[in-house]
Amino acid sequence: MVDKKIGIYAGSFDPITNGHLDIIQRASNLFDQLYVVLMNNTSKNYLFTFAEKKELVEASLQTLTCDNIQVKVAADKLVAEVAKELGAHFLVRGIRTTADWNYEISMQQINSLQASDLETVYLTAKPEYMFIASSMIKEVAKYGGQITDLVPQPVAVALHQKLGKNL
């Protein structure tokens, strides 16, 4: 019997962007099961709660053409621990720039110390998504700028509602 290929795409997703969705769509084609895992990064300040982010991610995934994705919340765990719990042996990471690459290589080394059987799979961002970062989107939305081409519609609405700006 062949083991199922199970992958995890973990992040803070505050908020999820069109770039994230592209990575999720592409990764879903590589695995039998893909978990999008909402995690905590202690160096970030979040705008949305985990419950709000889970709702936004699930609503955003409705636009994709895949049925092998599940959303999980693991706010207080290491990704290696979550992978073990879910039976995953692959960690999907998106790369936009060389700065991302440098950070991700360090993370891969730390993750391999936690779980030597966890393989990291890197997907590079498409050119139209290379400049999109959740932190930039929050800044633009805060000042009423145009974000509708950068994030899924449910996210644009939620950002403007939370920040008190009009679409």
Which residue out of 4, 5, 44, 126 is catalytically annotated? 44
For residue 27, say whether it is annotated as part of any ligand binding site.
Answer: no
- 12 with 44: CB under 8 angstroms? yes
Catalytic residue among 28, 60, 89, 134: 134
- Residue 132 in marked binding region: yes
Number of H helices, E strands in the chain: 6, 5
Q: Is 94 annotated as a binding residue?
A: yes
Identified catalytic residue from 72, 84, 96, 165:
96
Question: Is 160 designated active site?
Answer: no
Helix (H) or strand (E) holding 122: strand 119-124
Clarify whether 26 is annotated catalytic: no
26 is in an annotated binding site: no
Distances (CA, A) of 155 to 8, 35, 68, 113, 131: 22, 20, 22, 35, 18
Spatial CA neighbour of 161 closest among 73, 17, 153, 131: 153
Binding residue per annotation — 106?
A: no
Is residue 134 a known part of a binding site?
yes
For residue 116, indicate whether it is catalytic. Answer: no
Q: Is 90 annotated as a binding residue?
A: no
Query: Is 107 known as a binding-site position?
Result: no
Secondary-structure breakdown of the chain: helix, strand, coil percentages, each rounded to the nearest 5: 45, 20, 40
CA–CA gap between residue 69 and residue 30 (Å, rounded): 12
| 74 annotated ligand binder | no
Annotated active-site residue in 20, 53, 89, 138: 20
Annotated binding site for ATP: 12-13, 20, 94-96, 104, 129-135
Per the annotation, binding residues are 12-13, 20, 44, 79, 93-96, 104, 129-135
Annotated binding site for substrate: 12, 44, 79, 93
Q: Which residues are catalytic?
A: 20, 44, 96, 134
